[in-house]
Structure 1
Amino acid sequence: MEPVFPSSKKSDTKQQAGSGGSQRGWRAELWDVIRTVGIAFIVLLLLQIYVFNLSVVKGQSMEPTLEESERLFVNKLIYDFKGPSPGEVVVLKDPSLGPDKKEYLVKRIVAVPADTVEVRGHQLFVNNTAVNEPYTDIQIEDADFGPVTLNADEYFVMGDNRHAGRSKDSRYFGNVKKKEIIGRAEFVFWPLTKIRGL
C-alpha cells in the first residue's frame, strides 16, 4: 500500500492569501501615513494663518535687541483680545508700500492711542515724560521729531537701533493702524544658541 501524502493545495492557498494580505496592509499603512501628514500640514497651515507666524529679521533696525537672520515666533491671536502695549515688539505691514505689496517690519511700540510722542534733544518723550529705554545702547542720533498726538486706533513704532538713519519707523511713515499690526513677537527660536524671550 502506497503512503498517502497530504495535499499542498491548502497551504499554497494560505500562502497566496497571506501575500495578498501583506500587500493590502502595506498600502493601508502608506495611506495612513499620507493622510496623517496631510492633516498635520492643513492644521499647521491654519494655525499659521490665524494663530502664529514665523518671521525672519531683516536689516539692522532692531539691534541690539534682534540681529539680522534671527527667526521669531509671532503671536497673531493676542491682539484680537487686547491692544498693543508700550514696549512690545511687533511685526507689521510696511505702511510706506502699497496695499498689494507684502513687506513686513519688526518694530517696538513706543506709544499708544491718545499719547503724545516727541523726540527732543536725542531723547524720546511720551506725554512730555522722558522714556527709559533699556533695550537701546545709544541715544537717538536722528533729528528732533514732533510732538505728534495719536488718534484712536493709532500706534507709534520705532526701531531699537537709534543710530542715525538706521530705522525706518513712524518718524518716516507716520502712525500705524492696529489693522496693520500682524502680531506680537514672543521669542527668538533660531539659532538655537540664541533662543530667548522678548
Structure 2
Amino acid sequence: MSEFIPRSTRHNRESNEAWEWVQALAIAVILALVIRTFIFSPFSVSGPSMLSTLHNGDLVIVNKVIYHFHDPKPGEVIVFHASENKDYIKRVIAMPGQTVSAQNNVVRVDGESIDEPYIDNGNRTADFGPVEVPPGHIFVMGDNRMNSSDSRDSSLGTVPLDQVVGRADVIFWPLEDFSLLW
C-alpha cells in the first residue's frame, strides 16, 4: 500500500531541496572567491628565467597569506608585482640592509658566498654589485641567471616588500612536475 502525499507537500519539499542546493552552490562560489582572492591563487610561469626549478607554462599555487605573518626569507620563490600589469616569479636572495654581489660566478651576501643548490652546474652568474638592499625592499634573482630580468637590472631593481603577492609553494601542473617549492 502506498502512502498518499498531497501535491502541495510534495511541491514544498522539492522547492526546499532546490533552495538548499542554490544556497550550497552560492556558499561554495563565495568560499572559492575568498580563498582565491585572499589565501591561495594559481600563477602561470611565463618565460625561462626560473629554469630549471620552474618551466614556461608551469602552474604554481601562491600562498598569499604567509607574508602577513613574516617577511620573505632568502631562498624562497616569490611572486611580486613588477609593474601595474605584470607579475614576476623570482627567488629571494637578500633582505633589507644586506649587501649583495657576484664575482667569478659566486653570489655573496654581506661578503659571504651563499649556497645555491637550485642552480644547475654550468649556469653562470655575471659579475655585479655590490648592491645594498634598501629598507623595505628585497633583492631577487631568477634561477636561470643569464636569462632573467631581476633585481640586477636597473629597470626592475630591488622589490618593495609591499609589492610581494606571496610565496610560490607548489607546482601543480603539469602533474608529472608536481612538487613543493620550499
The match for 1:50 is 38
Counterpart among 36, 57, 73 of residue 61 in structure 2: 73
Q: Is the 8 A contact 1:73 1:189 kept in 2?
A: yes
Counterpart among 154, 165, 173 of residue 190 in structure 1: 173
After superposition, residues 130-149 of structure 1 pair within 5 angstroms as: 130-139=113-122, 141=124, 143-149=126-132
When normalised by structure 1's length, the TM-score is: 0.82
Instruction: Quote how far apart the aligned CAs of 1:114 are.
Output: 1.2
Give distance in 2, aligned partners of 1:74 and 1:143.
29
Is it true that 1:61 corresponds to 2:61 in the alignment? Answer: no
1:20-39 Cα shifts (integer Å, max 9, x gaps): 33333223222211211111
Percent identity over the alignment is 36
Structure 1 counterpart of 2:75, one-letter code: G
The match for 1:31 is 19
SS at match of 2:162: helix
Q: Which structure features the higher share of strand residues?
A: 2
Give distance in 1, aligned partners of 2:100 and 2:76.
16
Give distance in 2, aligned partners of 1:43 and 1:184.
21
Structure 1 counterpart of 2:55, one-letter code: E
When normalised by structure 2's length, the TM-score is: 0.89
- Unpaired stretches in structure 1, ≥5 consecutive residues: 1-13
- Radius of gyration: which is bigger? 1
After superposition, residues 77-88 of structure 1 pair within 5 angstroms as: 77-88=65-76
After superposition, residues 160-171 of structure 1 pair within 5 angstroms as: 160-162=143-145, 164=146, 166-171=147-152
Question: Deviating runs (4+, > 4 A) in structure 1?
Answer: none
SS at match of 1:37: helix
Q: Is the 8 A contact 2:106 2:125 kept in 1?
A: no
RMSD: 1.8
Counterpart among 90, 106, 110 of residue 123 in structure 1: 106
Instruction: Quote how far apart the aligned CAs of 1:191 are.
Output: 2.3
Deviates further, 141-150 or 110-119: 141-150
What is the number of equivalent residue pairs in this alignment? 177
Counterpart among 82, 97, 106 of residue 114 in structure 1: 97
SS at match of 2:10: helix
In structure 2, relative to structure 1, the CA distance for the partners of 1:108 and 1:71 (3 Å cut) is same
Deviates further, 135-144 or 121-130: 135-144
Instruction: Quote how far apart the aligned CAs of 1:140 are.
Output: 5.3
Instruction: Quote how far apart the aligned CAs of 1:64 are.
Output: 0.6
